[in-house]
Chains A and B, each alone.
Chain A
Amino acid sequence: MSHPAPAIAVRDLRKDFGVFQAVRGVSFDVARGEIVGFLGPNGAGKTTTIKMITGLLKITSGTVRVDGLDNRTQLVQVKRKLGYMSQKFSLYPLLTARENIEFFGGISGLSPRERARHQARMEELVPAAVLRQKVQDIPPGLRQKVAMFVCLMPDPGIVLLDEPTSGVDPEARRVFWNDIYGLKKLGKTLLVSTHNLDEAEYCDRILIIHNGELVAAGAPDELLRQRRKASIEELFKDAIEEHGQD
Chain B
Amino acid sequence: MKLRHLVRKELIEIVRQKELLFLLFVSPIIQIVILGYVVSSDIRNVPVGIVNLSRGQTAARVIERVRRSPLFSVRRESERSEDYAHYLKKGEVKAVLVFRDALDRKRNVLKYPEVQVLMDGIDSNTAMIAAGYFNGIIRDTILADMEKSGRGLPVAGRPVFRFNPQLRSINTMGPGIVAFLLTIITMFITSASMVREKEQQTLDTLLMSPLNSLEIYLGKALPAALIGLVDMAIGLVVVVLWFGIPFRGSLFHLLLAALVYLAAILSYALLISVLSASTQQSMFFAWFSLILFLLMSGFFTPVSNIPQPLSFLAAINPMRYLVQIIREIFLKGNGIAYFWKDLLALGAIAVTLVSISLLNFKRFISR
Contact = CB atoms under 8 A, between A and B. Distances in A.
B200 A88 contact: yes
A18 interface: no
Contact of A79 (B2, B4, B210): B210
Nearest to B204: A86
A58 to B, nearest CB: 6
Contacts of A103: 5-6, 8-9
B366 A107 contact: no
A133 to B, nearest CB: 12
Nearest to B216: A107
B12 A94 contact: yes
A193 to B, nearest CB: 14
29 contacts: A51-B204, A56-B207, A58-B367, A79-B210, A84-B204, A84-B205, A84-B208, A86-B204, A87-B201, A90-B204, A90-B205, A92-B202, A94-B12, A94-B17, A95-B12, A95-B13, A95-B16, A99-B9, A102-B5, A103-B5, A104-B205, A106-B8, A107-B206, A107-B210, A107-B211, A109-B2, A109-B210, A134-B16, A150-B205
B6 A107 contact: yes
B16 A106 contact: no
A91 interface: yes
A143 to B, nearest CB: 13
Contact of A106 (B5, B13, B17, B204): B5
A50 to B, nearest CB: 10
A57 B366 CA distance: 7
Interface in B1-47: 2, 4-6, 8-9, 12-13, 16-17
B209 A93 contact: no
Nearest to B4: A106
Question: Which 8 interchain pairs have the tightest Cβ spacing?
Answer: A106-B5, A90-B205, A88-B201, A94-B16, A107-B209, A103-B9, A107-B2, A86-B204
Interface residues of B, number: 23
Nearest to A93: B200
A54 interface: yes
Interface in A66-86: 76, 79-80, 82, 84, 86
**Residue of A51, A79, A82 with most chain B CB atoms under a 10 A cut-off:** A79
Nearest to B15: A94
A178 interface: no
Contacts of A107: 2, 5-6, 206, 209-211
Contacts of B204: 51, 54, 56, 84, 86, 90
A60 interface: no
A104 B9 CA distance: 10
B208 A82 contact: yes
Interface in B251-290: none
A148 to B, nearest CB: 12
Given A103-B5, A109-B2, 5 more contacts: A84-B208, A92-B13, A107-B6, A134-B16, A150-B205
A95 B9 CA distance: 8
A81 B89 CA distance: 79
A77 to B, nearest CB: 11
Nearest to A105: B5
Contacts of A93: 200
Contact of A86 (B6, B201, B211): B201
Interface string A87-126: 1101111110001001110111100000000000000000
A218 B271 CA distance: 46
Interface of A: 51, 54, 56-58, 76, 79-80, 82, 84, 86-88, 90-95, 99, 102-104, 106-109, 134, 150-151
Contacts of B208: 54, 56, 79, 82, 84
Interface in B209-240: 209-211
Contacts of A76: 210
B213 to A, nearest CB: 12
B232 to A, nearest CB: 26
A106 B205 contact: no
B273 to A, nearest CB: 17
Nearest to B17: A94
A104 B202 CA distance: 11
B302 to A, nearest CB: 44
B131 to A, nearest CB: 56
A185 B13 CA distance: 37
B13 A94 contact: yes
Interface in B127-162: none
Nearest to A57: B367
A84 to B, nearest CB: 5
Nearest to A54: B208
**Residue of A57, A94, A134 with most chain B CB atoms under a 10 A cut-off:** A94
B24 to A, nearest CB: 15
Nearest to B8: A103
B201 A90 contact: yes
Contacts of B6: 103, 107
